[in-house]
Amino acid sequence: MKNPCRLTPFLLIILLLFTLPTISRSQVVAPAIDSIIQANALSSGNNKDVLSRFFQLAFGDLTGPSKTLSLTGNPYALMLKKNPLLSIDKYYSRYQPLRRSNFNFGLKVDSNYKFNGFTSGLKYAIVDQTDATTSKFVAWSLKKDPVHLERKVLVEKLRVYAENIGDINKKVAFVQATNAFLQTANTPYSKLDPDFRQVIDIIIQENGLNKLGDVLHNAPDQPLRIHDSLSFANLSQAIKSDWLWTLSVADTTYRDKFQFASINLRTDVIKGLGQHAKGQNSFELNADMIYNFSTDSLKSARNLDRQILSGEIGLNWVVRSAFTDKSYFEFKLSGSYSGIVSHTSPFDSQTDMITLNATARIRVYADIWVPVEIKYDPNTGNVFGLLNVKANFTALESILKGGKTGGVAQ
Amino acid sequence: MANKKSIANEIKIQLGQLTLNSKQQQKLQKGIHAVLVKVLSAPTKDPAPVLNGKTATLHVVFTGTIPGNSELTANFNGTEQTLTESGDLVFEGLITGSIISITGSSPGTTIVTIDIKADPASMTFAPGQDINGLFIILE
């Protein structure tokens, strides 16, 4: 490993440069954006590498001869920062293709930190069943939840009860008590005014609202607002293991001319295995296939005639916090194949290569990840190592705001 | 008088060049008679009731989700109106102390505001939070 300490000031400066504009704009961003961010808070780092919902700054191959600094962004997230009104449902639907897209651009430097060309790319999620905000399953489950249906009855009965209160001041007080009970996180059933609680109990009893009665009587100190949060978190979690399939195209240029040095066509699939309860570790299946066009060195002119097909399939073990359910450590074991499809150069020592890979991702803070990748070639016995750093802007924003990491991490 | 009476229950139709035989005349008369009886015997509509009180509009905005995934039902005095995407609900005939209830659900954030003086003036619900609440009209 070459001296990674040399990189530290460089990394910090770049992180700050990209973060500061985001902080100033955040003052005008509606709370709705936070909720969209939270919807993705429980995704694994591996999942975010496949599709970024917001922004990801990545430093690739830090100890290798070809280092990269790249920014991956979601165009919808960028537009939302500019105009929070785009989170309104009709626009949210209209911009679905943009929400499912990622753009990427960056630059390459050599081992002496000299510019070595640009990189850019586009990615689109053909299938994304992991998004709670658009999931029909989540919406249907919310509408058909038995406690939800009984609460509708309770609200209607409370409305009729309130209508019959003669004194306007008492009526207002009753409405305020009702809203506090139904909506706030500090008014549990156990702390209700006894007279108001009696009204609730009578309505529950007379209308057979048994599911709601169980919720209130079994956890009297838990406000309904908290019950809602926990239920929704469970629902969101239930779809996190569904399918995510992306297609992408990426390119790199030569350092002296804006001309493609290589082009990658790539597809990625990620699927959680089974369901897991909050805080339980889980597994993800991850596969990708890449068709690469690069320069055939036998030819004098610049070209893209050397073509390589490669693929990788692996299993990612996600270790989650028992309290927040967020992943903080991941370990992926995978096998990969790489084969030259055309224009084999005599300098290629072998046309096919199979490697065994291990990638460890460590969440060092909020959503700053350090993936360390080790590749082992059983044929030659060679071992290659890659050290990367990946961070997203919302996490950095929270750090600079004072360390609030709970709901804003991507 | 007799002449006036005959005018009251007769209609003359100018057929122009058309000549009808007696059978055709009877058929036409029978048809016209049937239509007239139907039209004239229909009950006259009562004028629309004039609502006293004020009109309130609930502005409902769902964010961070797609149309159709949300649902909000507002109820005033037993009259229900439902939205499944952002929009307005209008209720008429409200007086001081009238109460509008709202119920529903959304995987996104829901913001409901009312355009007349009421307590509360608006409500915000987090993603997945049950949409439950009462507005009381204060003007």
CB-based contacts of A293, cutoff 8 Å, min separation 6 = A262, A263, A264, A304, A305, A306, A307
What percent of chain A has a predicted confidence (pLDDT) above 90? 38
What integer pLDDT is reported at residue A358 of this predicted model? 86
Round to whole Å and give the CA distance between A203 and A206: 5
pLDDT in tens, A150-170: 999 999 999 999 999 989 999
Full-model pTM: 0.71
The reply to whether residue A142 touches residue B107, judged by beta carbons under 8 angstroms, is: yes
What integer pLDDT is reported at residue A325 of this predicted model? 72
pLDDT at A137 over 50: yes
Question: pLDDT below 70 — which residues of chain B?
Answer: 1-9, 36, 38-52
∠ CA A287-A250-A47 to the nearest 5 degrees? 35
The reply to whether residue A228 touches residue B69, judged by beta carbons under 8 angstroms, is: no
Residue whose pair of structure tokens reads 């960028």 in the numeric block? A78
How many residues comprise chain B?
Answer: 139
Arithmetic mean of pLDDT, A54-70: 73
Helix axes A210-218, A146-163, angle to 10 degrees: 90
Q: Which two tokens stand for residue A5?
A: 């300490």
The reply to whether residue B133 touches residue A182, judged by beta carbons under 8 angstroms, is: yes
Which has more confidence, A8 or A69?
Answer: A69
What integer pLDDT is reported at residue B111 of this predicted model? 96
Closest alpha carbon to A343 in A311, A309, A308: A308
Round to whole Å and give the CA distance between A58 and A50: 13
Q: Which residues pair with A315 in a beta bridge?
A: A285, A333
**H or E stretch including B38?**
helix B22-41
CB count within 10 Å of CB A20 equals 13
Q: Which residues in chain A are closer than 8 Å to B135, comparing Cβ atoms?
A: 175
Round to whole Å and give the CA distance between A22 and A38: 17
Round to whole Å and give the CA distance between A80 and A55: 12
* Mean pLDDT comparison of A69-73, A157-161, A378-382, highest-scoring range: A157-161
Q: How confident is the model at residue A305 (pLDDT cuts 50, 70, 90)?
A: confident
Q: Which residues in chain A are closer than 8 Å to B138, comparing Cβ atoms?
A: 172
pLDDT at A125 over 50: yes
Arithmetic mean of pLDDT, A182-188: 93
Query: Are A273 and A243 in contact, with CB atoms under 8 Å apart?
Result: no
pLDDT at A360 over 70: yes
What integer pLDDT is reported at residue A14 of this predicted model? 45
Distance from first CA to last CA of chain B, Å, rounded? 62
User: What is the three-class DSSP state of A158?
Assistant: helix
What integer pLDDT is reported at residue A185 of this predicted model? 92
Helix axes A168-183, A146-163, angle to 10 degrees: 170
**How many Å lie between the alpha carbon of A368 and the closest alpha carbon of chain B?**
25
Q: How confident is the model at residue A401 (pLDDT cuts 50, 70, 90)?
A: very low
Q: Which two tokens stand for residue B109?
A: 């954030």
> A319-338: b or e for each residue (b if 16 or more CB lie within 10 Å)?
ebeeeebbbebbebebebeb
Cross-chain CB nearest to A87 (options B63, B97, B101): B63
A249 in reach of chain B (CB within 8 A) = no
Domains of chain A: 4-130+240-402 (2.40.160.40), 139-233 (no CATH)
* Mutation site, B59, B62, B66, B88, interface A, largest A CB count within 10 A: B66
* Mutation site, A142, A149, A226, interface B, largest B CB count within 10 A: A142
- Asked if the ipTM is above 0.90, the reply is no
Q: Which residues in chain B are closer than 8 Å to A132, comparing Cβ atoms?
A: 107, 127
